[in-house]
Amino acid sequence: MIILAELRARFASAIAPLSTEVDTLTRLVLPAQNAQFGDYQANCAMPLAKQLGRPPREVAADILSRLDVSDLCEPPEIAGPGFINLKLRTDWLADRLLQAVGNDRLGVGRVELPKRVILDYSSPNVAKPMHVGHLRSSVIGAALYHLLKFLGHDVVGDNHIGDWGTQFGMILYGYKHFLDEQAYRENTVAELSRLYRLVNQLCEYHQTIEELPGLEWKLAETEQAVNDAEAETEQNEKESKRLLKKLQADMSTLRNAAASAEAKIARFEADPDLKALADAHPGIVVDSRREVALLHTGDEENRRLWEEFLPACNRAMQDVYDRLGVEFDLTLGESFYQPMLAEVVRDLIERNLAQESQGAICVFIPGNRAPFIVRKQDGAYTYATTDLATIQYRARNMQAEVLLYVVDKRQSEHFQLLFETARLWGFDQLEYQHVSFGTVMGKDNKPYKTRSGDIVGLGSLLDEAVSRARGIVDANDDAKPNGPELDAAERQRIAEIVGLGSIKYADLHHNRDSDYVFDWDKMISMTGDTAAYMQYAYARVCGIFRKAGHSRQEIRDLPGQVRLNHPAERALGLQLARFEDSLRNAAAEYRPNLLTNYLFETANAFSTFYDKCPVASEESLDLRVSRFKLCELTASTMELGLRLLGIQTSERM
């Protein structure tokens, strides 16, 4: 049921005779900010009054005289400077809730205009270990996938994996020089991953050594500049102070960079075996790059190895997805688009969109200084080229209407250029959206890493979540008034659900654009706004049914009405009735946190209800049935809402 849209429609016809900007005005019909003002409020009388040059309260009265909401609302009231406060009729609300109980979509409709949406999420680099960043893209992407699909869109989930990039150069180099054959036979992926890390480490070492002198030179230069500027600061106050500050900031950045480069080198050289390897492979950076180039130009050996590596890598990736419950309809990686790249560049040139610049082929977008490079000097294509080919493919072969990219916000400039180029290229009928998200930070407010500075692997992250959740499940079950109810296997099953749910919920409940601090203690906590809280609310509802000896289906089928006399009942009922509004809001802006907020409020409303209103022990049959039905709708709403977020529930906890 869509309450908001219904109210807006009613207001639209009331406002139409007074203004031409009906849409803008009806959008000012909103859920009440404060329960004391009712359930909904319309703020449209004030701006309309300005347009008409009449007193706002008089305009409000005018709107009310044309407004017909008597079937769903109590008589509206005008308050303050011209707010119109609306309170839903409790009998209307109760009737709607009764219809939602037992409806398999809980009364949620489908969108009027379904769109073909290609949702691009997760997109890890094959053969590189997955980390928290991939978690965000996967979790947010999966949530949007379920949500949009549930609302009736035609959604295709596509994992645009990086299976053609630089990391394969490193792996190929590693395979040719450092392979442990036995390890490769026993656990291919682990060995490839070791090779990647090893070569990457060696490359970074050489690169750091190479960069350090330049860094130090630049630092010395900046230090000198700071000294000079300090001497001059007294004259010419404002401008030179600004300059000085800037220089000091630069200096501090350079100092940190130089220090961390030195530390990196020292750490590396502390390991004599690594140092020996590095000395034995001085050209490793260039040589790894050549291995990729060979792969790209069709070298037989490298192509064969690539084909040998890939299945194992994909299987390892799939294990993580299975565990997370993340699914895709397609996995079309970068390699899939390789055959199309030459044609893409040729076409861009033919249409005068791309031109040569310093040997590279670039698209220059007016208003953007940075060129969008589609072919490098050395003739290699870039991810820009691949992304354009992907858009072309999705538009032509997949009938895409909406393209969503769930990708780190640091790539926003890339997407801006990409979308602009695609539009100029002729794909201007599509809707493009970079569904960006912020960085996962550690407690030190820097990107989340282990203490030694390594990226945290996804597998160990999930293991830790489950083991922490197990502690909570054990503690709770042990503390039950009538003794423990769960055996070890059941506890473990619940710990998986709570642990994985917690990690996903923590991610989803932040505004996706914000960076957020990864904090185990908050995520898997006994209290507060966590997955566990919602899962617990769900388990408590199920407990009521179980103890009363009713199945969910029996409760749906019970003859009877929904009553909302107690404030806690009405608050819960209103909250449940807003489910579809919340789904639509979340989908409209691709913001799962709007749905987590809703579910938290729902769990909250239920917990209050649970505290104040006996269900199974309620003496009045009429009331007991009503409360059973409210409980059933709560359970279904929580279950479905969480499921759309990719979070599971358990009937017992």
Minimum distance, C-beta of residue 458 to RNA, in the bound complex (Å): 18
CA of 196: how far to CAs of 172, 284, 381, 590, in Å?
9, 12, 23, 35
Span from 188-196, 227-235, 419-427, 537-545 in contact with RNA (CB under 7 A): 537-545
The sheet with strand 354-357 has its strands ordered as 354-357, 360-363, 372-375
Nearer Cβ to RNA, position 184 or 418? 418
Binding flag, residue 515, RNA (CB under 7 A): yes
Rule CB under 7 A: choose which of 65, 182, 358, 553 binds RNA: 358
Minimum distance, C-beta of residue 182 to RNA, in the bound complex (Å): 31
Residues 224-243 that bind RNA (CB under 7 A): 242
- 412 - beta bridge partners? none
Binding flag, residue 508, RNA (CB under 7 A): no
For the beta carbon of residue 52, count every other beta carbon within 10 angstroms.
Answer: 15
Binding flag, residue 591, RNA (CB under 7 A): yes
Q: Rounded to whole angstroms, how far apart are CA atoms 18 and 421?
A: 43
The helix-helix angle for 132-150 and 621-644 (nearest 10°) equals 130
Span from 182-190, 267-275, 507-515, 637-645 in contact with RNA (CB under 7 A): 507-515
Rule CB under 7 A: choose which of 59, 93, 360, 403 binds RNA: 360
Q: Rounded to whole angstroms, how far apart are CA atoms 615 and 563?
A: 12
Rule CB under 7 A: choose which of 3, 7, 11, 43 binds RNA: 43
CA atoms within 13 A on the CB side of 161: 21
Span from 9-17, 63-71, 90-98, 479-487 in contact with RNA (CB under 7 A): 479-487
Residues 128-167 that bind RNA (CB under 7 A): 162, 164-166
Binding flag, residue 528, RNA (CB under 7 A): yes
Rule CB under 7 A: choose which of 17, 311, 359, 453 binds RNA: 359
Q: Rounded to whole angstroms, how far apart are CA atoms 440 and 502?
A: 15
Asked if 585 and 579 touch (Cβ cutoff 8 Å), the reply is no
Asked if 555 and 589 touch (Cβ cutoff 8 Å), the reply is no
Residues 427-446 that bind RNA (CB under 7 A): 441, 445
Minimum distance, C-beta of residue 450 to RNA, in the bound complex (Å): 18
Span from 390-398, 426-434, 540-548, 558-566 in contact with RNA (CB under 7 A): 540-548
Report the amino acid identity of residue 448.
Y
Element (H, E) at 213: helix 188-232
Binding flag, residue 414, RNA (CB under 7 A): yes
Smallest Cα–Cα separation from 76: which of 136, 14, 152? 14
Binding flag, residue 75, RNA (CB under 7 A): no
Span from 222-230, 297-305, 396-404, 520-528 in contact with RNA (CB under 7 A): 520-528
Two tokens, residue 316 = 């390892």
Classify 88 in phi/psi space as left (phi over 0), alpha (psi -120 to 50) or beta.
beta
Q: What is the CA radius of gyration of the chain?
A: 30
Rule CB under 7 A: choose which of 200, 302, 390, 476 binds RNA: 476
Binding flag, residue 419, RNA (CB under 7 A): no
Minimum distance, C-beta of residue 180 to RNA, in the bound complex (Å): 26
Rule CB under 7 A: choose which of 184, 600, 626, 635 binds RNA: 600
Minimum distance, C-beta of residue 185 to RNA, in the bound complex (Å): 29
Nearer Cβ to RNA, position 142 or 285? 285
Angle at 154 (CA atoms; ends 150, 157), nearest 5 degrees = 90
Nearer Cβ to RNA, position 17 or 80? 80
Span from 147-155, 264-272, 338-346, 534-542 in contact with RNA (CB under 7 A): 534-542
Residues 365-404 that bind RNA (CB under 7 A): 369-370, 373, 376-378, 380, 382-383, 386
For the beta carbon of residue 420, count every other beta carbon within 10 angstroms.
Answer: 17
Size of the site for RNA (CB under 7 A): 103
Q: Can you say whether the dihedral through the CA atoms of 315, 320, 324, 330 is positive or negative?
A: negative
Binding flag, residue 511, RNA (CB under 7 A): yes
Minimum distance, C-beta of residue 186 to RNA, in the bound complex (Å): 29
Rule CB under 7 A: choose which of 5, 12, 46, 61 binds RNA: 46
Two tokens, residue 49 = 């009054």
Rule CB under 7 A: choose which of 513, 554, 557, 622 binds RNA: 513
Smallest Cα–Cα separation from 196: which of 166, 156, 228, 221? 166
Binding flag, residue 6, RNA (CB under 7 A): no
Binding flag, residue 493, RNA (CB under 7 A): no
Span from 13-21, 100-108, 420-428, 508-516 in contact with RNA (CB under 7 A): 508-516
For 298-328, the DSSP string reads T-HHHHHHHHHHHHHHHHHHHHHHHHHT---
The residues near 405 (Cβ < 8 Å, ≥ 6 apart) are 120, 121, 415, 432, 433, 434, 435
Binding flag, residue 611, RNA (CB under 7 A): yes
Span from 137-145, 227-235, 323-331, 536-544 in contact with RNA (CB under 7 A): 536-544
Rule CB under 7 A: choose which of 338, 411, 492, 561 binds RNA: 411
Q: Rounded to whole angstroms, how far apart are CA atoms 308 and 189?
A: 11
Nearer Cβ to RNA, position 105 or 242? 242
Nearer Cβ to RNA, position 199 or 473? 473
The residues near 264 (Cβ < 8 Å, ≥ 6 apart) are 204, 205, 208
Residues 188-227 that bind RNA (CB under 7 A): none
Residues 310-329 that bind RNA (CB under 7 A): none
For the beta carbon of residue 649, count every other beta carbon within 10 angstroms.
Answer: 23
Binding flag, residue 498, RNA (CB under 7 A): yes
Asked if 84 and 123 touch (Cβ cutoff 8 Å), the reply is no
Rule CB under 7 A: choose which of 1, 22, 28, 500 binds RNA: 28
Minimum distance, C-beta of residue 183 to RNA, in the bound complex (Å): 26
Rule CB under 7 A: choose which of 16, 220, 249, 342 binds RNA: 249
Binding flag, residue 551, RNA (CB under 7 A): no
CA of 428: how far to CAs of 117, 156, 538, in Å?
15, 20, 45
Residues 290-309 that bind RNA (CB under 7 A): none
Asked if 632 and 101 touch (Cβ cutoff 8 Å), the reply is yes
